[in-house]
Amino acid sequence: MTEQMLIVSKGAMVQKPNKAGLEEIAHLLWFGHLPTRAELASLQASLLEQRQLSRDLLALLRTLSPETAPMDALRTVVSAWGMYANVQGKPSIEQAIALTARFPLILATFNRLRQGLEVLEPRADLGYTANYLYLLTGQEPKAEHIKGLDAYLVMLADHSMNASTFTARIVASTASDLASAVVAAISALKGPLHGGAADKAQEMLAAIGTAENAEPWIRATLTSGGRLMGFGHRAYKTTDPRSEELREMARHADPIGFAFARHVEELAISTLAEIKPGRRLYTNVDFYSAVLLSSVGIPVDLFTPTFAVARIAGWTAHILEQAANNRLIRPLAEYIGPDQHAFIPLDQR
């Protein structure tokens, strides 16, 4: 692991929420240090300059059915961006900025179109996070919503070698282009065992419905072999530290939603310990994301895409790092099947 990779891996984790905004963290991930005021202004100007969707991309978005899953829409439009913008060759910081600037636009535009609403022009007077909220809702974003969403985006901007980041690095390691690596990362994040758990956690809370129903619902799900979304983690065998931060953010953002989620969380952890002894299953980042994102007005099916809006800075930082010092990632597989058989020609089998 290189020094830069350590920075990328730990960058988002060492920041407490509300101490630095998403653009500052993107600078940390891309350039290896927090920006000075001048560096931040320069990055913000670059992101602003790229805050636009071409006619081709808008036309493509208009062809998508309102039923399209938002992660599919994001994946498709990012792939088309790579094609129309002719994103080829070695990944560059300019490409990373161009794509990061477009992620919120793609999702907000899709969200407006599927509701039959007019597409809004991005506003130059709003920062990255505020602009996303404005484009989604068409309303002046509230200060506490901007703060809550920005803290969420910072928290999820990067997280070492998770499945989607690893996927991005594998694609980048073949000397493929940045858009292709990000399309692959989106595809990995979509899965419900990874980022796709965010909306599933919200669906779980909605299905439980009442405090009294929590215990029987959790027990029935676990005894029938189901999984509780927002719990368990491949790397953390204790509470995901991000979930502790998100728990506090959710407590302030939506006290009523929080109280119910906290009740479900406590029962989930104790019932998991009873039914899955020794597995050490605790709350992960997706559980309180559900409460927090709901409280700032993000629609449930945009939870995972909003996770992607947070993670695009981290993905592209990893892609740039991989490309800068590349070697093909190619694991060996241990064959455990039957020993070699004699070859029998087709007409004799």
Task: Give the residue with the Cβ less far from ligand ACO, 61 or 228.
Answer: 228
Amino acid identity, position 50: Q
285 near ligand ACO (CB under 6 A): yes
* 3-state SS, residue 7: helix
Closest approach of Cβ 142 to ligand ACO, in Å? 27
The partner residues of 231 in beta bridges, in order of sequence, read 283
**Torsions phi, psi of 17, nearest 5?**
-60, 155
The token duo for 238 is 């204790």
Site string for ligand ACO, 241-280 (x = CB under 6 A): -----------------------------------x--x-
Q: What ranges make up the beta strands (E) of the chain?
A: none
194 near ligand ACO (CB under 6 A): yes
Closest approach of Cβ 279 to ligand ACO, in Å? 4
Give the residue nearest to ligand ACO (CB).
Answer: 232
312 near ligand ACO (CB under 6 A): no
101 Cβ contact list (under 8 Å, min separation 6): 46, 47, 48, 49, 50, 51, 128
Closest approach of Cβ 230 to ligand ACO, in Å? 5
Q: What ranges make up the beta strands (E) of 82-137?
A: none
Q: Which of 284, 295, 306, 322 binds ligand ACO (CB under 6 A)?
A: 284
233 near ligand ACO (CB under 6 A): yes
The token duo for 244 is 């502790």
Q: Which of 13, 69, 161, 193 binds ligand ACO (CB under 6 A)?
A: 193
Q: Residue 101: enclosing H or E segment and its boundaries? A: helix 93-114
Contact 160, 6 (CB under 8 A): no
286 near ligand ACO (CB under 6 A): yes
Task: Give the residue with the Cβ less far from ligand ACO, 142 or 279.
Answer: 279
Core vs surface per residue 287-297: b (16+ CB within 10 A) or e: bbbbbbbbbbe
Give alpha helix (H) positions in 232-334: 241-253, 255-275, 285-295, 303-324
Q: Which of 168, 228, 291, 323 binds ligand ACO (CB under 6 A)?
A: 228
Which has the closest alpha carbon to 326: 215, 207, 171, 213? 171
Task: Give the residue with the Cβ less far from ligand ACO, 114 or 311.
Answer: 311
Q: How far apart are CA 203 and CA 149, in angstroms?
A: 20
- Segment near ligand ACO (CB under 6 A); pick from 145-153, 165-173, 188-196, 257-265: 188-196
* Binding footprint of ligand ACO, residue count (CB under 6 A): 20
How far the first Cα of the chain sits from its last, in Å, is 50
Residue in this structure with the two tokens 């490409």, named with its chain if needed: 95
Q: How far apart are CA 154 and CA 13, in angstroms?
A: 9
Q: Which of 77, 179, 229, 320 binds ligand ACO (CB under 6 A)?
A: 229
Q: Which of 11, 35, 70, 195 binds ligand ACO (CB under 6 A)?
A: 195
Task: Give the residue with the Cβ less far from ligand ACO, 284 or 294.
Answer: 284
281 near ligand ACO (CB under 6 A): yes
Closest approach of Cβ 272 to ligand ACO, in Å? 6
Q: Which of 231, 258, 282, 303 binds ligand ACO (CB under 6 A)?
A: 231
**What are the residues binding ligand ACO (CB under 6 A)?**
162, 193-195, 197, 222, 227-234, 276, 279, 281, 284-286
